[in-house]
Structure 1
Amino acid sequence: MIRSVALLLFSSLAFAACGRDATEYRLGMAGPFTEGFGLANRRGAELALAEINAAGGINGTPLSIDFRDDGGDGSRAASIAQEFVDDVRISGVVGHVTSGAMVAAAKVYDGQLAALATTASSAELTSISRWVFRVISSDSANGVDLARFAERLGKRRAYVLYENDAYGRGLADAFRRTFGGAVLGFDPIDAEGRDAEVFVAWAAKERADLIFVAGTERSGLALLRAARAQGLSADFLGGDGWTGVAAEPAVSEGALVGAPFTARDPRADAQRFVQAFEAKFGVEPDGNAALAYDATWVMAAALRSAGADRGKLRDWLASRTMRSPVPGVTGNIAFELSGDPVGKSLVMTRVRGGQLIPTQESR
């Protein structure tokens, strides 16, 4: 009897150590889900989850995701990360969504739990931990691509605005260092877009032909509304944080956006995803949704191949090179030693009729 009890206890501990119970595999996901880009991330993950379970789950066992709202706040993200680490049922994490939150959470995940960030693009995340990966390219690379794109458009006088966080500062600095024309100003803006009229008026006074904004859709839409009201003729250019501005076509028409994904992608896998997302949520997916969808499928592939053991799952992710990538709707997914994706770049688009249409000057 003593031997039987000991074996039972050992089996129970082994199950706890592998990170799941007998009935499901579990992942965590965190992001600011009340924000437009955060909701798009969540929906992308929810679609992937539904498809994974409809196809039989992980080797016949259902997959679940524990969704937690971190508000994009570093302190809250670190607290949620610790809760994920402490929950032995969770084998890995999809997210976090924002750069500041992911930077804070990475310190908690290090050596404990693999996290695959979706849209956190800050250069600070490169090599931050052997346990942190991401499916979006770094701001250090994106800023270069965006600056070169602006030059191909013939822009020579740029006004650079940025939200004063890890994402905004990194992307704006990379753009400024690369742009070959004159940078007329380099100013922080409020994430809510307060005082947008002042920045737009200054750009008009200085005859800027481009306003580059390293921020998210909320401040972006405020600036675009102010530009419409003042009749500013300069082009606006935003990075991946701007994919949501297309939701207000009346003010965003003509805006330029460097997007990690466009629903106009003609590839069969991309169009299947677009149709499935529209059928489930009634709206067209953007890059936020596509990246979260891919990240969820990558984590499911890791669970299917490596099991629920946290260390083995991390090692499987690290072994995804260009010789053994995971196919995704945003392209093949493989990782550098730094945790950054291999070969990812932005698609340069212009908003037309509420859609992100690739431009002829994309390359």
Structure 2
Amino acid sequence: MPKFTRNAVIAASISLALLGAGCGSAVQAADSSDSPAETVYFGVSGPLTGPSAEYGVYWQEGFDLALEEINADGGLNGIPLELKWEDSQSDPKQSVPIAQKFVADSSIIAELGDFSSGASMAASATYQQGGLVQFGFTNSNAGFTAGGDRMWSTSLTQQYYQTQSAQQVAQDHQKISLVYLQSDWGKTSYDAFKAEADRLGLEIAYESPIQPDSEDYRPVLIKARDAEPDAVVHLGYGPDGARVVRQLRELGYTGQFYGGQNTPQFLEAAGEAAEGTIINENFLIGNTEPRVVEFNEKFEAEYGHAPSTFSAYAYDALHILAEAAERGGPTREGVFNALNEGQPFGSVQFGEFTFSDERRPNDVPIVPVVVRNGQYEKL
């Protein structure tokens, strides 16, 4: 079965589980009334349906693998750990009532999510007031961790990513065309990239926002091509990035493309057009470091396909929170206190790392990744 079709089936299955069917994996019903007292939970607010459902599938796979390992190793100081999922569709209107539900559930000792920074930040005040750690492990907006001392993330900020990206592009090119998502995330990314591009003297010959859910970017991309840039830079996600690079190639553009995302779906959706694409990442899923090789082997043995970086992000997030709960005790304050101790944590992404005063990873480099022969490789 093709990966994209398989992912859609998984997402549909998860959605049905949330509607009331029992499930023996990481997805659990949100009602804790029948939960045994000796079990503790992390809440997950994330997209299982809607435009970002692909990422919920990636999360699910990473969480399930980590959860199996944690409980096989004795859980949290001998107490089993489970997850309570709520489908937010990464929508701020849904993430807030989910936060209220999680805060009111005393069996939940920490929360993971939401996928987008906007959905997470809308709910942050509720988590902060309820004393519940909100671990927004894909939240790159710098404002997320500024929302309170209960907000933590293993994601680097867009300011950091895009500053580094502009520096990399400027090493090899003088004039570019730039397209970016018409969203809060896209505008934040654009502002950071443009500020650094201006500082470096990198000329942006053409720029335009694009709609995340549009199927036809050709009117914009024709203008981007006709500006005769040395490279085209895309600031966005995997699905829109695949459409951008595919349509650029169909329009005859043969220059360098920076963009897309380090996910299986980007390679599948972009096809041959992805060849040569450069993506800035903090993590290469295919690198040969022992911790990554071990993760990849476990993942492929479990699911029969290679992991997405987002599966690795979820896997790390669950292990980090579990480690904090073991160190500080499986309570809300225990998790919070252990994260604040300044001790290192282990991860697939970074190896051993510590959190900064901004409650994000310290001293993590950007890794330029290139698509060669249909696979991601270090540039």
Quickly name the TM-score band, shorter chain normalised.
0.7 to 0.9
Once the two structures are TM-superposed, the CA of residue 151 in structure 1 deviates from its matched residue by 1.6
The residue number in structure 2 matching 1:71 is: 89
One-letter identity of the residue aligned with 2:194: R
- CA contact 2:165–2:280 (8 Å) conserved in 1: yes
C-alpha distance in structure 1 between counterparts of 2:325 and 2:36, whole Å: 14
Letter in 1 for 2:286: R
Cα deviation 1:78-106 (Å, max 9, x = unaligned): 12111111111100012222211111121
Say whether the 8 Å CA contact 1:146–1:175 is kept in structure 2. yes
Trace 1:259-298 onto structure 2 (pairs within 5 A).
Answer: 259-298=281-320
Aligned residue among 82, 105, 121 for 2:100 = 82
1:142·1:345 contact (CA, 8 Å) conserved in 2? no
User: For structure 1, which segment, 241-250 or 255-264, has the greater mean C-alpha deviation from structure 2 after superposition?
Assistant: 241-250
What is the CA deviation profile of residues 319-346 of structure 1, one whole-angstrom value per residue up to 9, with x for unaligned ones? 2x3xx21010011242222222212233
Distance (Å, rounded) in 2 between the aligned partners of 1:306 and 1:279? 33
Matched position secondary structure for 1:79: helix
Q: Contact between 2:88 and 2:94, CA under 8 Å: does it hold in 1? A: yes
Change (3 A) 1:140 1:129: same
Query: Which of 242-251 and 211-220 deviates more?
Result: 242-251
> 1:207 — aligned with what?
228
User: Is the alpha carbon distance of 1:166 and 1:143 closer, same or farther for their aligned partners in structure 2, counting shifts above 3 Å?
Assistant: same
Identify the residue that residue 19 of structure 2 maps to in structure 1. none
Which residue identity is paired with 1:351? V
Matched position secondary structure for 1:272: helix
Unaligned runs of 5+ in 1: 1-19
Secondary structure (helix, strand or coil) at the match of 1:213 reads: strand
Is the 2:238–2:261 contact (alpha carbons within 8 Å) kept by the matching residues of 1? no
In the superposition, relative to structure 1, how do residues 209 and 193 fare at CA in structure 2: closer, same or farther (>3 Å)? farther
Match of 2:159 among 130, 140, 147: 140
- Partner of 2:163, secondary structure, is helix
1:129 matched to 2:144? The reply is: no
The code of the aligned residue for 1:30 comes to: S
Q: Is the 8 A contact 1:261 1:286 kept in 2?
A: no
Q: Counterpart in 2 of 1:348?
A: 368
Give the match's secondary structure for 2:45.
Answer: strand
Which of 192, 209, 212 is the matching residue for 1:188?
209
- For the residue of structure 2 that corresponds to 1:110, the secondary structure is helix
Provide the alpha-carbon RMSD of the alignment.
1.9
Can you list the C-alpha shifts for 1:242-270, whole angstroms capped at 9, x where unaligned?
A: 77412333332221111232122211111
Identity %, equivalent residues: 26
Contact 1:135 1:295 survives alignment (8 Å): yes
In 2, Cα distance between equivalents of 1:239 and 1:325: 32
1:310 paired with 2:329, answer no
State the TM-score, normalized to the length of structure 2. 0.84
- Cα gap change, 1:256 to 1:192, in 2 (>3 Å): same
Q: Which residue of 1 aligns with 2:13?
A: none
Q: CA deviation at 1:48?
A: 0.6
Distance between the aligned counterparts of 2:173 and 2:54, measured in 1?
Answer: 30
The offset of 1:293, in angstroms, is 0.8
Which residue in 1 is equivalent to 2:6? none
Distance in 1 (alpha carbons) for counterparts of 2:148 and 2:254: 44
What is the CA–CA distance in structure 2 between the aligned matches of 1:355 and 1:349, rounded to whole Å? Answer: 10
2-structure distance, mates of 1:234, 1:173: 24
Aligned equivalent of 2:249: 228
- Residue 29 of structure 1, aligned match among 33, 44, 65: 44
SS in 1 for 2:362: coil
Which residue of the other structure, out of 274, 283, 293, is the alignment partner of 1:252?
274
Distance in 1 separating the partners of 2:96 and 2:180? 24
Query: Contact 2:95 / 2:122 at 8 angstroms: preserved in 1?
Result: yes
Q: Higher RCO, 1 or 2 (CA under 8 Å, sep at least 6)?
A: 1
* 2:144 partner letter: L
How far residue 24 of structure 1 moved from its aligned partner, in angstroms, is: 1.0
Query: Aligned-pair distance for 1:228?
Result: 2.1
Deviation at 1:183, TM superposition (A): 1.2
Structure 1 residues 78 and 239: alpha-carbon distance in aligned structure 2, compared to 1, 3 A threshold: farther
Q: Decide which moves more: 62-71 or 130-139.
A: 62-71
Structure 1 residue 209 displacement after superposition = 2.0
Which residue type is aligned with residue 32 of structure 1?
A: P
Structure 2 vs 1, CA of residues 295 and 81 (structure 1 numbering), >3 Å: closer, same or farther?
A: same
Equivalent residue, structure 2, for 1:115: 134
**CA distance in 2: counterparts of 1:227 and 1:127, whole angstroms:** 38
In structure 2, do the counterparts of structure 1 residues 242 and 261 end up closer, same or farther at CA, with 3 Å as the change threshold?
A: same
The aligned counterpart of 1:3 is none
Pick from 39, 43, 53 the counterpart of residue 57 of structure 2: 39
Q: How many residues align?
A: 336
